[in-house]
A = this chain, B = another copy of it.
Amino acid sequence: MAVITLTTDFGLKDHFIAQVKGRILTLNPSASIVDISHEISPFNLKEAAYVVRNAYSEFPEKSIHIIGINSSITPGGRHIIVKAKNHFFIAADNGIIPAIVGLSNMEEAIEIKAYTDFSDFVELETFSKVATHLLNGGSLALLGKPTQDLYNYPEQYGIISEDASQIFGEVIYIDRFGNLVTNIRKVDVEARRSGRKTQVHLRNHQIDHIYENLNDFSRIIKNESANRAALGKQIAHYNTAGHLQISIYKGVPGQSGSAETLLGMQIGSSVNLLFISET
């Protein structure tokens, strides 16, 4: 059974999310609603894209994903529905949906014409009705008119240097543990590697090994003394989303320190991956 998911930068204190849920349940009392995240940093589309991209495909097919970031305050002011990979996405035409699913995966894109008004609160007045229409099996075509020219971000992943010797990346997300998620993806590294070794550079730090995943690191922790010795060690590894990530082994933000604080990094800080030819 399809699910309606919600992702916003509204936070959990205010009444906005409850209003949207109440409206959906009034329209369809058996709707299943799941929060993806409401703690997206205010107005931060890249962060929202990273979070939704990594969560949506776990939901049942035909699930409907409402993304409420910058929905009202948007030059152009269009709102869209996109069908991609057998999921539906509802958001403002501000680049978030192409960033989530990839332009080439978009099967249908509709500019919303139904349930529109001049409300400040488009997630409540428009998105909740559109989502319920789809949940009830209503057709996309009734909701608006097909559109092609969606707003789209510039390239969001790491950029290969002209001489193909490195990938210039940056931190795009910092998780609850203060781990640094970069926009350098394993698939891109492998496509460019050509048998070379890799090295990670950030500020004045150099990391010579990238673990395939965090388990590959934790497997070398055989006992309690190895565990203690590893505490605070910086680790480069691919995370479960396939991105290069810099973590501190059992680092705790505000206590022992996290990658964010110990390495002095923030969203947008540079992380570069060098390819090293063995000679």
Residues of A within 8 A of B (CB): 1, 3, 5, 9-15, 18-23, 25-26, 29-30, 32, 34-43, 50-52, 54-60, 63, 72-75, 77, 118-121, 124, 175-177, 213-215, 218-219, 221-224, 226-227, 239-241, 249-250, 252-253
What are 28 A-B pairs with beta-carbon distances under 8 A? A1-B29, A5-B22, A11-B39, A12-B38, A13-B39, A13-B51, A14-B51, A14-B176, A15-B36, A15-B241, A18-B51, A19-B54, A19-B58, A22-B57, A23-B58, A25-B32, A25-B59, A42-B250, A43-B250, A58-B124, A73-B250, A75-B221, A75-B227, A77-B218, A77-B219, A118-B213, A119-B213, A120-B213
CB distance from A71 to the nearest CB of B (A): 11
A124 partner residues in chain B, CB cutoff 8 A: 58, 240
CB distance from A42 to the nearest CB of B (A): 5
Interface pairs A-B: 10 shortest CB-CB: A22-B58, A11-B176, A13-B39, A22-B59, A1-B29, A18-B55, A15-B55, A18-B36, A15-B54, A73-B218
CB distance from A99 to the nearest CB of B (A): 14
How far is A215 from B77 in the complex, measured between Cα atoms in Å?
Answer: 10
Evaluate contact between A120 and B177: CB separation under 8 angstroms. no
The main secondary structure of chain A at its interface with chain B is loop
Evaluate contact between A214 and B73: CB separation under 8 angstroms. yes
How far is A91 from B256 in the complex, measured between Cα atoms in Å?
Answer: 25
A3 partner residues in chain B, CB cutoff 8 A: 22, 25
Given A42-B177, A120-B240, the answer on whether A37 and B60 have CB atoms closer than 8 Å is no
The residue in chain B whose Cβ has the minimal distance to the Cβ of A175 is B14
A18 partner residues in chain B, CB cutoff 8 A: 5, 34-37, 51, 55, 58
